[in-house]
A and B are shown apart, each in its own frame.
Chain A
Amino acid sequence: MKLLMKVIFFGLPALVLAGTILTFNAGQYFKRPHGTADDVAAHLADASGLALAGQWEEARSAREELEQAWQRVRRRIVLTSDLDELLSFDELMAEFQGALDAEDKTQVHIATRKMQAIWDEFGR
């Protein structure tokens, strides 16, 4: 009984602290794709590559998949991320869509670079 109490007294706080530190540092893990459907970096590269090759229709459909992948990952990383960064990524998704609608390669370049930069920062 005394041993159990000791384990609870010291073990529980240690568990709380360890759990918190692990959770707050798990951004990289949560960001990692668990399949092809949530691979944001790959979808971004696809959509951007298609747009720069002038295949606008395919690029728009790739952007849809990118959007779905991002929404999946967003839910996972929201606990460990800065909300402003998440909102910036949301805005850049819209900017990217605008660039595709306007079929403007320069804007596609800019949006892609910005998105890649923010994406790399998630989970750090």
Chain B
Amino acid sequence: MTEPMVVVVRSVVTFLSLLVFSRILGKTHVAQLTFFDWVTGITIGSIAAEITTDLGVRPWPMYAGLIAWTGMTLLTQFASLKNRWVGKLLDGEPVVVIQNGQVLEGRLRLLRLRIDDLNGMLRSQGVFDLNEVEFAVMEPRGALSILKKSQNLPVTPSDLQIPTQYKGLGIDLVVDGEVQVQNLRRLNLNKDWLKEQLRQQKNIDLKEVFLAVIDSQGKLYVDTHADRAPATDDLSDYPGPN
């Protein structure tokens, strides 16, 4: 086996292993990672890369390291779930940075956060005026949660005592032109019903449909393969590749 071939085999094996380990470690979104999670992820990735391309090391000890890091990460995840104290120790706690409209500078220093950073985070949440904020909490995973003053909160139907209808999740009936038979079955419907509804509600044939979603009121959202966007909506403003 030549050296490039060894790299290819090691790559395939490590890639598949990493896929399995990632699935074991869960579905946490990158934006929800703590700093520690992030560092752990990078370490696991680095070990995997080293197994793949560094032929100057035996793969097994490195692979054992990969298993150990994944195991430790899994262990800390379980420990955080099972024990609140451990969870606080590993992930930290939410920290109030604005209380009753007052910015708490001491807490900002503790978080090594500048007032400019805080302002930026507020703006990214659509708050451009500090007067609107009652509470702001820095979450352990780096997000800023904001509670606006009651006079700045948007009015909801319940404030106006307007009755609303239940709104559940939409269910895909056609995806990429393919009828989702199991979803139809879950709703006690069938393909004939779908064809009929498409004809009645949208006056189109099933073959033309790219995406069809049914909402909790039984209303269909339908997108067809043929796009009819007018040329005036093209955002490209220069000639060349798009």
The CA of A106 and the CA of B10, in the complex, are separated in Å by 41
- In the complex, whether A24 has a CB less than 8 A from a CB of chain B is yes
Q: Which residue of A lies closest to B57 (CB)?
A: A82
Which residue of the partner chain, among B14, B20, B24, B58, contacts A80 with CB atoms under 8 Å?
B58
User: CB of B79 within 8 A of chain A?
Assistant: no
A75→B2 CA distance, assembly (Å): 8
Given the known interface contacts A78-B6, A80-B58, the answer about A13 and B20 at a Cβ–Cβ threshold of 8 Å is yes
Q: A75 vs B58: C-alpha distance in the bound complex, in angstroms?
A: 15
B16 touches A16 (CB 8 A): yes
Q: Which of B149-198 contact A (CB under 8 A)?
A: none
B:1-48 near A, CB below 8 Å: 1, 3, 6, 9-10, 13-14, 16-17, 20, 23-24
Chain A contacts for B9, CB-based, 8 A: 79
**Cβ–Cβ contact A75 & B20, under 8 A:** no
Docked-complex contact B23 and A81, CB < 8 angstroms: no
Is B1 within 8 A of A84, CB to CB? no
Contact yes or no, B59 A80, CB < 8 A: yes
Cβ contact of B13, chosen from A23, A75, A81, A83, cutoff 8 A: A23
Instruction: Tell me, in angstroms, the Cα distance from A23 to B3 when the chains sit together.
Output: 17
Question: Chain A residues near B57 (CB, 8 Å)?
Answer: 82
Chain A facing B: main interface SS = helix
B60/A80 in contact, CB under 8 A: yes
B63 at the interface (CB under 8 A from A): yes
In the complex, the answer to whether A24 meets B16 with C-beta atoms within 8 Å is: no
Decide if A78 touches B1 in the complex (CB within 8 Å). yes
A83 to B3 CA separation, bound complex (whole angstroms): 9
Q: How long is the Cα–Cα vector from A79 to B5 in the complex, in angstroms?
A: 9
Interface residues of A in 69-120 (CB under 8 A from B): 75, 78-84
A20 touches B63 (CB 8 A): yes
B58 touches A82 (CB 8 A): yes
Residues of chain A with a CB closer than 8 A to B13's CB = 19-20, 23
Please state if B58 and A13 are interface contacts (CB–CB under 8 Å).
no
Q: Mark B52-66, 1 if CB is under 8 A from A, else 0.
A: 000111111001000
For B10, B55, B56, B57, the residue with the greatest tally of chain A CB atoms inside 10 Å of its CB is B55
For window 12-48 of A, CB contacts with B under 8 Å fall at 13, 16-17, 19-21, 23-25, 27
Contact A13 B23 (CB under 8 A): yes
Residues of A within 8 A of B63 (CB): 20-21, 24
B24, closest chain A residue (CB): A13
Q: Indicate if the CB atoms of A79 and B16 lie closer than 8 Å.
A: no
The distance in angstroms between the C-alpha atoms of A25 and B59, with both chains bound, is 9
Residue contact B17 to A17, C-beta cutoff 8 Å: yes
Q: Is the CB of A79 within 8 A of B58?
A: no
Q: In the complex, A27→B59 CA distance in Å?
A: 11
- Is the Cβ of B17 less than 8 Å from the Cβ of A16? yes
Chain A residue contacts of B6, Cβ below 8 A: 78-79
Residues of B within 8 A of A84 (CB): 56
Contact in complex: B60, A25 (CB < 8 Å): yes
Contact B55 A83 (CB under 8 A): yes
How far is A39 from B56 in the complex, measured between Cα atoms in Å? 25
Closest to A122 in B: B58
Q: Check A75–B23 contact: CB distance below 8 A.
A: no
Closest to B14 in A: A20
* Chain A contacts to B: CB under 8 angstroms: 13, 16-17, 19-21, 23-25, 27, 75, 78-84
**Which residues of B are at the interface with A, using a C-beta cutoff of 8 A?**
1, 3, 6, 9-10, 13-14, 16-17, 20, 23-24, 55-60, 63
